[in-house]
A and B are shown apart, each in its own frame.
Chain A
């Protein structure tokens, strides 16, 4: 005989499954193949930051980079193509770099810069922007730090089902696979979006 008390207890047991918070990227990563080590993740993050710095330098170069487009197919741009990035990508990268700087100094600046940039993006670009920043932030600082809930929510909340996108991205999935993972997007949409952010994406 199952009683209401049993039902309550069962629901409590289910509730106990809940994580303590909307946790960090690593904590919620699906069981990854053994070949995908933390070292690989760290390398990705390091490359990402390095790319951001490179691009930021390019953006800030007095020589100026005219917005001529020489984007390679499917976003396989290189860091040297920084001059071709769109205004959105520029803003993205600038925000990342600011976050990087702020991570070493002003703890409030990252959220400020990132949110400002985020809010200026079109809806479709937000997910990918978020993906990049979350990837960066996960490696640079404890994303789910209780003292910084806003940061967490803003990064994670925009993902929705796109959470998988971030995971596969950091794991080194190809952009075509990424496009498929993006779910409802039509074929190529993710590639186009990511191509806009080519200099960073390339450094997976």
Chain B
């Protein structure tokens, strides 16, 4: 490709950033939205803007964190415009909320439904904590609030979700959710 962006401080080109982080960003956005199509739109929008601002984005210490924040902002912005745009959720049978005979599965379906009803900032905080495994400070940076506010958002969200905190610390990474943690290391 002829359009290779010259960075100011890093060796990361937009193309390589795209190649490496597009998929993790899409997964993050899907966790944020519960909607594959909306996630794709958000990420496409954000990456488009990222390209236009690449000189600036690539010069920050952690471009991924910067772009992830853009994703969160776009998510919250779209939620505010939801009535106008009336985004249709993807109906692929995997995010249904109907009853299920397996209680564990039914619990998770119910949990998905409650996640969908969370206020945007609470949802974002939950995803940043439990999917991206970010500490309070980084979540606060993404959401543009104080760490105390992050804790409050998460606490309220957990209460709404009826999630018990009995199974360990909230920032313990799980084997299946390493995407951003691994990515962050790679991007520095």
Contact = CB atoms under 8 A, between A and B. Distances in A.
Interface stretch (A64-72, A92-100, A154-162): A154-162
Contact of B108 (A9, A17, A23, A112): A9
B170 A15 contact: no
A3 B177 contact: no
Interface of B: 1-3, 14-15, 18-19, 22-23, 26-31, 34-37, 39-41, 43-51, 84-85, 88, 90, 92, 94-95, 104, 107-108, 111-112, 115, 126-127, 130-131, 161-168, 170, 174, 176-177, 179
Interface stretch (A32-40, A50-58, A143-151, A192-200): A143-151
A18 B177 contact: no
A163 B85 CA distance: 12
A154 B50 CA distance: 10
Contacts of B166: 1, 3
Nearest to A158: B48
Nearest to A14: B31
A4 B170 contact: yes
A6 B108 contact: yes
A190 to B, nearest CB: 16
Contacts of A149: 15, 18-19, 22
Given A4-B167, A14-B31, A150-B1, A21 B41 contact: no
